[in-house]
Every structure is written in C-alpha cells, then in structure tokens.
Amino acid sequence: MKLTFLGTGTSQGVPVIACDCQVCQSKDMHDKRLRSSVMIETNEHCIVIDAGPDFRAQMLRAGVKRIDALLVTHGHKDHIGGLDDIRGFNYVMKKPVDVYATATVSKDIHRDFYYAFADEKYPGVPDMNIHFIEDEAFYIDQLKIQPIPVMHHRLPVMGYRIGSLAYITDCSSISPDSMKLLENLDVLVINALRIKPHISHFNLDQALELAEILKPRKTYLTHISHKLGLHEDVKKILPHNVQQAYDGLVCSLNDDYSGENVV
C-alpha cells in the first residue's frame, strides 16, 4: 500500500492570502501546503480522500490517471470544493466516479453541485455515483474500509481506516468506541492545526497525546496551519516516530513497515 499526501494545509492553505508571517513568507517548499487530501494506492485500487479547492492541481501534480473511489470526510468547502474537477476522470474512464459519503454530506454535495444532479443535465457536468455510508465497515471490491466517526467541534466527521492505516482530519474529539477502531496501527495520520488550543481541531499537544495513547508505529501530522510554525523548527521538537506530513510526501506500507519515506 502506498500513501501520498496530496495536500497537508488547513482550510486557507499555506501561505495564507495577504499574510506576512515568517511561515507564509518561507522559501522552504515544506511550508507550502495545499488543502488536505491523501491518495491511497494498492495493487488494485486508487482511492482519494477528500477533494478540496486544490483537487485539480493535486491530481495534475501527482499524475493521477484514474480514481476507483473518492471518500469524503465532511461537507466543508475545503474538503468538497473541487468535486467539479472529477469531470476529467469521467472523460478518461468513461464512467461516473464512485463517491462515498454520509447522507448528511451527500446533501452538502447536492447543494453545492446541484447542476450535477439536475433532471436535465447540462453537457459535461461532473458525473458521480454517491454511495451512502454510516459507521459500519464497507468494501470496495475486496478492500475493507472502516469509517471512524469523530467530532469537529459539533460537526460529525468521518475518518477512515484501511488495513493498518488510519486517516483523521478536522477532529477535536474522539469517542471511546472510535478509539478502539484505532488500535494496532502502523500509520496514524492526524490533524495538528497549531500550537495554541483550537475549538474544532487538535493542536500539536493534543495530537501528540493521541499518538502516545494509540502508539502507532508512525504518526504523521496534517491539516497544518501557518500558526504551527516553520517546518524545520517544528521538526526539531517532535518525537522520533512523529513527523509533519508535507505536500508530495509518499510512504510505503507493508507487513514489515519500517516507516521509511520515499519522496
């Protein structure tokens, strides 16, 4: 299994428009972050989690030629705003893109992309099959996907577990039942918005505390804002098995996962 970080930034991305802070003005490419999204590839499948406003740029940068499934965490614009750009895959694959989302998130998608679901569709609109998911595991062919319900302040959000990899973004609290679904991980991807506490996201200390409790072999931090600090500065204070993810980071997972990364 291969994990590619397509974007690791928060809702505004990094740099933030009109911001003069040292992170936004940094020349280090590790400090350039598109909106959060990942791609998970197995021998048979290519799965993308979330399609925010940077989806087109992410697909082009990663050279993606097909998507077998698009999993959606929640309906905020930085996670669904790029769904219109699945049209390229519709054209190449000659079929709709399979999108997996809760009934509530499906309503958000229908609202934002109403023209894709009209009775009389304009030629060339995005074509998607929305599959409703709940808390129970589901399968894409033989691949098991386990939704992980978490809370984004008062908004329910879905994380996802595939094998020994779990991806959670936009999270401020996790229930005991969901914590059980996160046991025995090789890789945990979790949001760490900034240094100071935040009402709807884990801050750095909370993300590190979660990693200490769950004890995955490797933890990657994502959904990072400019207020976390410069990549190189934060890198120096992290435990050995915790790493800031960055756009374009690729890691391979297998039964003998070593935590090594290939960029």
Q: What does the pLDDT read at residue 260?
A: 45
102 and 132 Cβ atoms separated by less than 8 Å: yes
pTM listed for this prediction: 0.95
Cα 49-217-42 angle, rounded to 5 deg: 40
Q: Which domain holds residue 146?
A: 2-256
> What separation, in Å, do the N-terminal and C-terminal C-alpha atoms of the chain show?
15
Tell me which residue of 43, 31, 40 sits closest to 67, measured CA to CA. 40
Q: Is residue 188 part of a domain?
A: yes
pLDDT of the chain, 263 residues: tens digit per residue: 999 999 999 999 999 999 999 999 999 999 999 999 999 999 999 999 999 999 999 999 999 999 999 999 999 999 999 999 999 999 999 999 999 999 999 999 999 999 999 999 999 999 999 999 999 999 999 999 999 999 999 999 999 999 999 999 999 999 999 999 999 999 999 999 999 999 999 999 999 999 999 999 999 999 999 999 999 999 999 999 999 999 999 999 874 434 444 32
Q: Is residue 21 part of a domain?
A: yes
Q: Is residue 261 part of a domain?
A: no
Q: Is residue 203 part of a domain?
A: yes
Q: Is residue 29 part of a domain?
A: yes
Q: Is residue 196 part of a domain?
A: yes
CATH number at residue 167: 3.60.15.10
Q: Is residue 262 part of a domain?
A: no
Q: What does the pLDDT read at residue 263?
A: 28
Q: What does the pLDDT read at residue 254?
A: 72
Structural domains of the chain, count: 1
Q: Is residue 263 part of a domain?
A: no
Q: How buried is 120 (Cβ within 10 angstroms: 0-12 exposed, 13-18 middle, 19+ buried)?
A: exposed
125 and 164 Cβ atoms separated by less than 8 Å: no
